[in-house]
Chain A
């Protein structure tokens, strides 16, 4: 095996690897829409495939803001953000909508790109819920009763717009308690309130599982949950110490039910009853399973993207890009003949390598990402032209073919290297400090530049060197 064999072996090996990496993406996108939806619902979507961004496939873009003020003082912002993102990802994954890029933006924003969901209401409920489940004791003392009757007497709600208690009520609250709203009952019913103890003996953090169960008699949905070992013990001790008192099940500050504790509850499981619809119960079970957000989030931006307007235009854009590419291929072939043919091979490989690298990283292709690809392709073409023009210059000096090729590559190399590195430096900064679309641009550009340099220098040279072994007398470029 000589050096040339190694080179050709590397190229062919990479080509085979690329096709292997590309296969899942090709298989995925040749499926019908229905099949894809089915597989996604079963959460069997392949991981390492090329994804299409919202601007190409349509969906809902949401920007959430973490309410930092309600964050536990002990928790660092970065940790809280990371946890929030993981929890949201968990929820979305369990919902099964397919690839959903979730990323941190700025200090306390989280961007969520939900593909395909046009019912934003449902998505908001799923993602925006804090899902803080607490088990508290109900305060049934006389002082608490006095508070509730006072709340009933006054005509205005006990909370002001900011959610703090109005002074008249706050004054008479028993020590160590708080007022909670009850889950809304039937329409037209007055809002009800509970006085609960401020200490929280058990929270949803100890939950192991939660799922929807339906009432045998009426078929109304409720949520059954099981605690993990630690939580089960806590819950058992807590209920054991408070027999005959009332247990308030509080979700996101709203009391859903307040049953009496009849006896010590062992076994570590329980049921949340309330007036849920089936859909609500299902989503609630998902968010409980995935865990509570470290602090409430609010949706500060929401955009529904395509695909109504998009699809036509995207097809048009793709066919235009296709025509453009064919034109380039044809021009190179006519103008540089054999050299153009080699360059065309390199450009075609460029596509294969780029697509497979993006599939492997599970990258998401967006319009700005395509801009990055166009730039990297233009630079790959430029590298080829640089080499070919050098060859022509050397040819004009009537050097022997065996010398022309190495000299041309050597001379063209510094220009190719410097122009690529310069652009690459810019791409690194854009990736590091940019966000959203700018980052998408930087990612495809970076991968594209690496692939472009490899195909236009390494691959083409290997082809020429292979051809040189036949000891040609003429270089037809």
Chain B
């Protein structure tokens, strides 16, 4: 039998303020970045200019991208075939012509010798993305309440559910902060990734809560701190093994998955690391802290 994680006896509860400080620092870093730099919202949420061009001679997506970036334009490029491209640049409805002309000028100078015709010039509205984000947020908040109610019911204690949800928010917020710090673009797929992190985080937490519930029944007299420590240590092997496998898959997606899913994989990578950490270092100590408040 191979055993990666031997029986441990780490006092996680005692270290709780260290954990809280680390989390607070990471969250603060994300918050500062979000406040200063903001989030790099994708075209789905901002709206922008859409320009469709057809080139005389075939040209690669890479060439189109470099021609534009030389002129300082940061586009989303979609190839229709090898000659036709749809170029989208974030912006408002008012500067559609301005942006379009800048794109045309960039091609005239950087792709000289390959003439092109303009097929379409349009404004893409942000309505759908905003509507989706609004609804997703609404559904997300409702589901947090649903989780708290369910956990309160199953574990006979509303504090546990609240601690689990706080740990979940902690993970989602850190992932969002990491997206802001690395300046990665938030699109609709990232919204799904953040939801995945939320689901993963709560799943991880519930398993440890389950062990605490079991130990509570077996050792009703055990003080909460010791109970929490025992439970976390007993399930540590499972927590780390599950998360190791998930982390391995997500890392491979991040390293070799290609550019389309790179942002998605990055979010998941940050989220799965956070998810494991928060289960051990945030959710369980929070329950302890909360329950022992008056004592």
Contact = CB atoms under 8 A, between A and B. Distances in A.
Nearest to A303: B124
Interface stretch (B17-25, B30-38, B107-115, B198-206): B198-206
Nearest to A337: B1
A327 B78 contact: no
Contact of B249 (A317, A327, A389, A428): A327
A419 B257 contact: no
B128 A301 contact: yes
B248 interface: yes
Contacts of B256: 316, 319-320, 323
A411 B135 contact: no
A319 B255 CA distance: 12
B81 to A, nearest CB: 7
B105 interface: no
Contacts of B216: none
Contacts of B80: 118, 304, 308
Contact of B125 (A105, A301, A428): A301
A10 to B, nearest CB: 26
A234 interface: no
Contacts of B196: 371-372, 374-375, 441
A316 B138 contact: no
A106 B260 CA distance: 28
B157 to A, nearest CB: 13
B56 interface: no
A321 B191 contact: no
A17 interface: no
B28 interface: no
A389 B154 contact: no
Contact of A421 (B131, B143, B150, B246): B150
B222 interface: no
A320 B253 contact: yes
A438 B86 CA distance: 26
Interface residues on A, range: 35 or more
B142 A418 contact: no
Among A304, A421, A426, chain B packs the most CB atoms within 10 A around the CB of A426
Interface in B250-295: 250, 252-253, 255-261, 264, 268
Nearest to A414: B210
Interface string A32-66: 00000000000000000000000100000001000
A392 interface: yes
A445 B199 contact: yes
Contact of B206 (A320, A422, A440): A422
B206 A300 contact: no
B127 to A, nearest CB: 6
Contact of A429 (B1, B139, B252): B139
B2 A334 contact: yes
A381 B204 CA distance: 12
Interface in A362-414: 367-368, 371-372, 374-375, 378-379, 381-382, 385-386, 389, 392-393, 411, 414
A421 B4 CA distance: 30
B242 interface: yes
A34 to B, nearest CB: 17
The DSSP consensus for interface residues of chain A is helix
A306 interface: yes
A309 interface: yes
B207 A419 contact: yes
The DSSP consensus for interface residues of chain B is helix
Given A105-B128, A438-B191, A375 B135 contact: no
A422 B1 contact: no
Contacts of B238: 382, 385-386, 389
Given A331-B248, A378-B246, A422-B203, A434 B139 contact: yes
A317 B128 contact: no
A432 interface: yes
Contacts of B203: 378-379, 382, 419-420, 422-423
B258 A371 contact: no
A301 B124 contact: yes
B271 to A, nearest CB: 10
A438 B196 CA distance: 11
A239 B191 CA distance: 60
Given A367-B261, A385-B238, A411 B214 contact: yes
B132 A438 contact: yes
A425 B150 contact: yes
Among B127, B131, B139, chain A packs the most CB atoms within 10 A around the CB of B139
Interface of A: 55, 63, 105-106, 109, 111, 118, 300-306, 308-310, 312-317, 319-321, 323-325, 327-328, 331-332, 334-335, 337, 367-368, 371-372, 374-375, 378-379, 381-382, 385-386, 389, 392-393, 411, 414-415, 418-423, 425-430, 432-438, 440-441, 445, 477
Given A308-B78, A316-B256, A379-B200, 13 more contacts: A105-B131, A303-B124, A308-B79, A308-B81, A310-B260, A313-B259, A317-B253, A319-B256, A378-B249, A422-B151, A422-B203, A430-B136, A430-B195
| Smallest CB-CB A-B distances: 8 pairs | A308-B79, A316-B258, A368-B192, A324-B249, A433-B139, A415-B210, A313-B260, A429-B143
